[in-house]
Chain A
């Protein structure tokens, strides 16, 4: 069992808390994304888990074995973890084969077994024709696959990924998301995936941990995080949302509503509700959708509509806020 537990982990740099009391339990074999803007402490948290940093308070345990506590850190090489780095960190002086086989050579496996396992994993990530190349001779996507193969060939209990796709172009990024998830499902290790891209987190993870300023803002499945954001921060950061005063939807507190959930009518709907009248300020055609900004009641509201809905800037529109799509937000926390 490789259940990963973090208990009130704190890490300060120069007195400033970067990770500020994180409590988190990641079940064995789960795929968890640590999601947050840059500077939220997600990479620091990952490096604490990897053992590159020592916590200032709290502890980190895997499968009940305490790995990190202040002053007592099991070194990275004894943690049975693997990591994919943002830079891939492929060793430029070793071929693909040597890079991938390095971890096995350290484990002093017989030569034939190393060759066999390297070949198997390289086939799994479609590198079998590139074994003799040096990293400098590979494309970004291929380098990414080598990094994956090198991390997976040692059969880690835990795989850590630090913004692994941020150096890839958009198409490749999409492809690699699915690849990373597919490999997880195939090998069933515990995965901790750090990203600032909510799309990546939603596409890959079972569980998303939204971090803000070193604290956990919300934990939930992608559906929960997207559908029921608990704070303005989560609503805005994950997927984009309007955060509006309660009066728009007859609520006693501010609420969030997704861009695509706001209904927009070219005329006042006859059957009522209480539509809000506004003026189109901006219209952008995005191909599969249109993106509007409507000024209503002193607020600027973003709305995504199907492309057929076509209203000129300056025209009047009426907006509806379906109650089941409006999420009342908890009063502003002090954790900001």
Chain B
């Protein structure tokens, strides 16, 4: 009876994952190989010979590599300062880094337009006044490869930071003490013991930063289009503009898909090495370096990074939301609620977009979490033959850049009998698929951490499998379930990369509206909507943090 039930759930889960992953990717491959007269390699020939395809490719690779290097250069010292020194305000620094992690890159890019657009940007205006420069001169130009690299760096370094800081926190002090007792100078210990131990985490962080900036659409679109150049993602998007060339777009998605697959595989190899297992072990006592006067220097360094990532951008957005014409310094004379009023009462798109965003985010969060619960549980318990297939399918969306998935879904669901384009359903599938791996990984970890004997004890006392799931497993997984739901919700309300290819006027979301408004230069309304997005995000995060942490209690009890 138990077997039957899990087989049914297994079949449903596989079916869902096929619709989410296999079908879009399948159509992507098929379409990339087809032309007007049957199968062809023409699309790929174009891809590798047409300069307008090659240049975005090179720009993306160069910029992403630079982002990865910048991330390492900043995240390693910052992670060390927060995890292993007596620098003041460490927890505030950590919180602000998390804030930049949840800032959608497109919003960051728009904020940096306000700050560093060549003519109107705040920073350029200040520089002209401070340095008595001519009106035609500008110090900063965010509409450039450098600007794109900088903005992408600001919103991807938190990934590297999290990896590094966690790794540093998990190295037991014993390992470093052992080196010290053998006569090693602290610097030697750092170089010979600590650094090699966190090296996999640094590499993993760098890879993630690279992948994020390679596949990001929002910030790239905001910053490259005015400057008249393309990245891979904006080039794919442009192939959907009139006249659409979906086959070429499908082909153009392939390098990104393959590169992502390769890099994730590399990351697995780096992190999966057995010798580094201890880094994932229990938290232990760790040594804290006393920086003396240097701690103010360390704080200044962290502060400068966060100034650029958080303080200036959010300041600029706040300013734009409440002054008459941004960017301008707020004074009593030019403060206004006109933008707020406009967004909520005059902008036709707002009610529809708000409604769509809420429906999609609630739906995606609930569906993705439910599916992740079922799949995570089946994979963790390994009761069903074929669980490894399920595990593979569930992790696969990680390797599919959102915009590539958008192309795939467009191709899969614009043809009968699955005509979903133009409906909220296709957006829902996209959001669920994009956010699913995060929920899955969370829940498979939680499910694995629940000792099977806890369930078996319930069985022997007379509970059916479903009853055990309800009485024992689900309550123990509750905080994991809530966390997964919140992750997906936050991810969904800010999603733009796939939405930009799949929306139609009635299915616009807030993120799409923000993007549209940016094209028309309406910074005040953008700022209002962007801040609204962030308020909702932080509210949900606060909610997630308040859930009683039963699984932690469970872990303590097992230990």
Q: Give bound CA distance, A46 to B553, whole Å.
A: 29
A/B interface sample: 12 pairs, CB < 8 A: A75-B459, A76-B460, A83-B456, A83-B460, A85-B456, A90-B454, A90-B457, A91-B472, A92-B550, A92-B553, A103-B461, A151-B461
Q: Is there a chain A Cβ closer than 8 Å to B281's Cβ? A: no
A77 touches B451 (CB 8 A): no
Q: Give bound CA distance, A273 to B177, whole Å.
A: 62
User: How many chain A residues touch the partner (CB < 8 A)?
Assistant: 29
Contact partner of B462 (CB less than 8 A), chosen from A77, A86, A91, A93, is A77
- Which of B1, B451, B459, B556 is the most central at the interface, judged by chain A CB atoms within 10 Å of its CB? B459
- Which B residues form the contact surface with A (CB < 8 A)? 1-2, 451, 453-454, 456-464, 467, 471-472, 475-476, 550, 553-554, 556-558
Looking at chain B's contact residues, the main secondary structure is helix
Task: Tell me the minimal C-beta distance from A72 to chain B in angstroms.
Answer: 12
A89 touches B457 (CB 8 A): yes
B460 touches A50 (CB 8 A): yes
A52 touches B462 (CB 8 A): no
Q: Give bound CA distance, A92 to B451, whole Å.
A: 11
Q: Give bound CA distance, A213 to B2, whole Å.
A: 30
B451 touches A107 (CB 8 A): no
Q: Give bound CA distance, A82 to B456, whole Å.
A: 10
Contacts A77-B460, A81-B460 hold; do A134 and B451 have CB atoms under 8 A apart?
Answer: no
Which residues of the other chain, B, contact A90 by a CB distance below 8 angstroms? Answer: 454, 457, 557
Q: Give bound CA distance, A183 to B497, whole Å.
A: 65
Question: Looking across the interface, which residue of chain A has its beta carbon closest to that of B464?
Answer: A77
B462 touches A106 (CB 8 A): yes
Which residues of the other chain, A, contact B463 by a CB distance below 8 angstroms? Answer: 77, 102, 106
Contact partner of A136 (CB less than 8 A), chosen from B451, B453, B456, B556, is B556
- Which of B463, B467, B471, B557 is the most central at the interface, judged by chain A CB atoms within 10 Å of its CB? B557
Q: Is there a chain B Cβ closer than 8 Å to A79's Cβ? A: yes
Contacts A87-B451, A89-B453, A92-B476 hold; do A77 and B553 have CB atoms under 8 A apart?
Answer: no
Which residues of the other chain, A, contact B2 by a CB distance below 8 angstroms? Answer: 75
Contacts A92-B550, A136-B557, A150-B461 hold; do A76 and B456 have CB atoms under 8 A apart?
Answer: yes
Which residues of the other chain, A, contact B476 by a CB distance below 8 angstroms? Answer: 91-93
Which residues of the other chain, B, contact A82 by a CB distance below 8 angstroms? Answer: 460-461
Task: Tell me the minimal C-beta distance from B310 to chain A in angstroms.
Answer: 38
Question: Looking across the interface, which residue of chain A has its beta carbon closest to that of B459?
Answer: A76
A93 touches B467 (CB 8 A): no
Q: Give bound CA distance, A77 to B472, whole Å.
A: 15
A102 touches B453 (CB 8 A): no
17 further contact pairs, Cβ within 8 A, besides A77-B460, A87-B451, A102-B461: A50-B456, A50-B460, A75-B459, A77-B464, A82-B460, A83-B457, A85-B453, A85-B457, A90-B457, A91-B454, A92-B476, A102-B458, A102-B471, A134-B553, A135-B557, A150-B461, A154-B462
A87 touches B558 (CB 8 A): yes
- Which of B2, B457, B467, B557 is the most central at the interface, judged by chain A CB atoms within 10 Å of its CB? B457
Contacts A102-B461, A103-B461 hold; do A93 and B550 have CB atoms under 8 A apart?
Answer: yes
A86 touches B456 (CB 8 A): no
B461 touches A93 (CB 8 A): no
> 0/1 per residue, A48-80, Cβ < 8 Å to B?
001010000000000000000000000111110
Contact partner of A106 (CB less than 8 A), chosen from B1, B453, B461, B556, is B461
Q: Give bound CA distance, A76 to B457, whole Å.
A: 9
Task: Tell me the minimal C-beta distance from A211 to chain B in angstroms.
Answer: 21
Q: Give bound CA distance, A134 to B1, whole Å.
A: 32
Task: Tell me the minimal C-beta distance from B225 to chain A in angstroms.
Answer: 52
Task: Tell me the minimal C-beta distance from B447 to chain A in angstroms.
Answer: 15
Task: Tell me the minimal C-beta distance from A81 to chain B in angstroms.
Answer: 6
Contact partner of A89 (CB less than 8 A), chosen from B451, B464, B467, B553, is B451
Question: Looking across the interface, which residue of chain A has its beta carbon closest to that of B559?
Answer: A136
Task: Tell me the minimal C-beta distance from A262 to chain B in angstroms.
Answer: 43
Question: Looking across the interface, which residue of chain B has its beta carbon closest to that of A162?
Answer: B453
Which residues of the other chain, B, contact A78 by a CB distance below 8 angstroms? Answer: 462
Q: Give bound CA distance, A112 to B482, whole Å.
A: 35
Which residues of the other chain, A, contact B556 by a CB distance below 8 angstroms? Answer: 136
- Which of A76, A85, A107 is the most central at the interface, judged by chain B CB atoms within 10 Å of its CB? A76
Which residues of the other chain, B, contact A85 by a CB distance below 8 angstroms? Answer: 453, 456-457
Which residues of the other chain, B, contact A81 by a CB distance below 8 angstroms? Answer: 460
* In the A-B complex, the 3 residue pairs with the closest CB atoms: A103-B461, A89-B453, A89-B457
A107 touches B462 (CB 8 A): yes
Q: Give bound CA distance, A91 to B468, whole Å.
A: 11
Task: Tell me the minimal C-beta distance from A185 to chain B in angstroms.
Answer: 22
Q: Give bound CA distance, A79 to B471, whole Å.
A: 20
Which residues of the other chain, A, contact B457 by a CB distance below 8 angstroms? Answer: 83, 85, 89-91, 150
Contacts A87-B558, A136-B557 hold; do A154 and B461 have CB atoms under 8 A apart?
Answer: yes
Task: Tell me the minimal C-beta distance from B552 to chain A in angstroms.
Answer: 10
A87 touches B453 (CB 8 A): yes
Which residues of the other chain, B, contact A79 by a CB distance below 8 angstroms? Answer: 460
A93 touches B451 (CB 8 A): no
Task: Tell me the minimal C-beta distance from A247 to chain B in angstroms.
Answer: 50
Task: Tell me the minimal C-beta distance from B1 to chain A in angstroms.
Answer: 7
Q: Give bound CA distance, A135 to B550, whole Å.
A: 12
Which residues of the other chain, B, contact A160 by a CB distance below 8 angstroms? Answer: 460
Which residues of the other chain, B, contact A136 by a CB distance below 8 angstroms? Answer: 553-554, 556-557
Question: Looking across the interface, which residue of chain A has its beta carbon closest to that of B1?
Answer: A75
Question: Looking across the interface, which residue of chain B has its beta carbon closest to that of A138?
Answer: B557
Task: Tell me the minimal C-beta distance from A89 to chain B in angstroms.
Answer: 4
Which residues of the other chain, B, contact A102 by a CB distance below 8 angstroms? Answer: 458, 461, 463, 471
Q: Give bound CA distance, A81 to B462, whole Å.
A: 9
Task: Tell me the minimal C-beta distance from B286 to chain A in angstroms.
Answer: 25
Which residues of the other chain, B, contact A93 by a CB distance below 8 angstroms? Answer: 475-476, 550, 553-554
- The residues in A between 104 and 156 inclusive whose CB is less than 8 angstroms from any CB of B are 106-107, 134-136, 150-151, 154
Contacts A86-B453, A87-B453, A102-B471 hold; do A77 and B550 have CB atoms under 8 A apart?
Answer: no
Q: Give bound CA distance, A134 to B463, whole Å.
A: 21
Contact partner of A103 (CB less than 8 A), chosen from B456, B462, B553, is B462
Q: Give bound CA distance, A106 to B464, whole Å.
A: 10
Which residues of the other chain, A, contact B459 by a CB distance below 8 angstroms? Answer: 52, 75-77
Question: Looking across the interface, which residue of chain B has its beta carbon closest to that of A99?
Answer: B457
Q: Give bound CA distance, A108 to B454, whole Å.
A: 21
